[in-house]
Amino acid sequence: MTDRSQDQMEILAAALPYLKRYDDQIVVVKYGGHAMGEEEAALAFGRDIALLEQVGINPVVVHGGGPQINAMLKRLNVQSTFVQGLRVTDAQMVEVVEMVLAGTVNKQIASAITRAGALAVGISGKDGHLIRARRLTRTVKDPDSNIEQVLDLGLVGEPEAVDTRVLRLLIGAEIVPVIAPVGVGADGQTYNINADTVAGAVAGALQAERLLLLTDVPGVLDAEKRLIPEMTVAEARAGIAAGWIAGGMIPKVETCIYAIEQGVKGAVILDGRRPHAVLHELFTDRGAGTLIRA
């Protein structure tokens, strides 16, 4: 037996317990932003998701596409503004958002997974009323008067309910759902929704075994900027209160907490730029990011 064959056998033997753990379980993967990277990185992600499906796991992909939206807005000469990290979305902009997310990006990801050997279908939260949305409201305190003011974010939404029937039909047919984070209101209005938030809501509704949020940092860092491999919901809340979980990491951690409280077994924040990050997280002892559990 060659050294390479021996290495392959050892890798398979080490992964076997994890293959058994996740057999026929649902794993929701949020993919987007800087984690998307260049074309080769996207194809590698597609191969990893296809591998999950081929070994008996049920992956569900939720994707973002902020850089792609920005590029299209620039081409169309449409100005974009952000408030507290959320894109203010008017009627003109929501059309662009839907065109990019539910069109180009959604189909590229589904195609990459299908090319790798698994059957993937791209849908948006509007299909089959998968994601019923409502307008997101946020308040901010005026620094001078200390009076709370309601922010007008336009057609930015949040999930109100998730109808899993379409997803379960796809999963039952061994098809990988690829979801664009666009929702629909009770009045038929289209809403732009944060992809992390959609991933958490979908994972909770499906009672997923794992929620993986791929981002551009190694995971949650402590006050000394060291990676925390694992933490409880209580420890995560304490980190937010103490201030060492801050900035853009707060909504990601809050999404993980929400998903766990809805029944997800564990949620992981990990660096999606790392090659095979999803496989490292699911099939190795050390994982690839920060696991948050109940």
Model pLDDT for residues 174-205, shown as the tens digit of each residue: 999 999 999 999 999 999 999 999 999 999 99
- Position 117, amino acid: G
pLDDT (mean) for 265-276? 93
Kindly report the pTM of this predicted structure: 0.90
Task: Report, as an integer, the average pLDDT of 146-169.
Answer: 87
d(CA 216, CA 212): 13
pLDDT of 5 higher than 80:
no
Q: 166 — alpha (psi -120 to 50), left (phi > 0) or beta?
A: alpha
Give the contacts of 98 (CB within 8 A, at least 6 positions apart).
124, 180, 182, 190, 192
Determine the pLDDT at residue 267.
97
Q: Are 95 and 151 in contact (CB under 8 A)?
A: no
Domain boundaries, the chain: 3-293
9-23, 44-58, 137-151: range with highest mean pLDDT: 44-58
Q: What is the CATH number of domain 3-293?
A: 3.40.1160.10
Least confident piece of the model among 126-130, 247-251, 255-259, 284-288: 284-288
Q: 93 falls in which pLDDT band (50, 70, 90)?
A: confident
Residue 221 DSSP one-character state: B
Q: Do 192 and 94 contact (CB within 8 A), yes or no?
A: yes
Q: What is the DSSP letter of 214?
A: E
Instruction: Annotate 131-160 with b (16+ C-beta within 10 A) or e (fewer).
Output: bbbeebeeeeeeeeeeeeeeeebbbbbbbe
Which of 12-26, 137-151, 263-277 bottoms out in mean pLDDT, i.e. has the lowest?
137-151
Mean pLDDT on 102-131: 95
| pLDDT attached to residue 142 | 65
The pLDDT of 13-30, averaged and rounded, is 88
In angstroms, rounded to a whole number, what is the distance separating the alpha carbons of residues 150 and 193? 18
Closest to 9 in 3D by CA, of 18, 17, 1, 19: 1
Token pair of 210 as six digits = 């794992």
* pLDDT one-digit tens code per residue, 27-56: 999 998 666 767 788 889 999 999 999 999
If you average pLDDT over every residue of the chain, what do you get? 89
Could you tell me the pLDDT band of residue 223, with boundaries at 50, 70 and 90?
Answer: confident
150 CB-near residues (< 8 Å, 6+ apart): 137, 138, 139
**Ranges 214-218, 260-264, 277-281, most confident:** 260-264
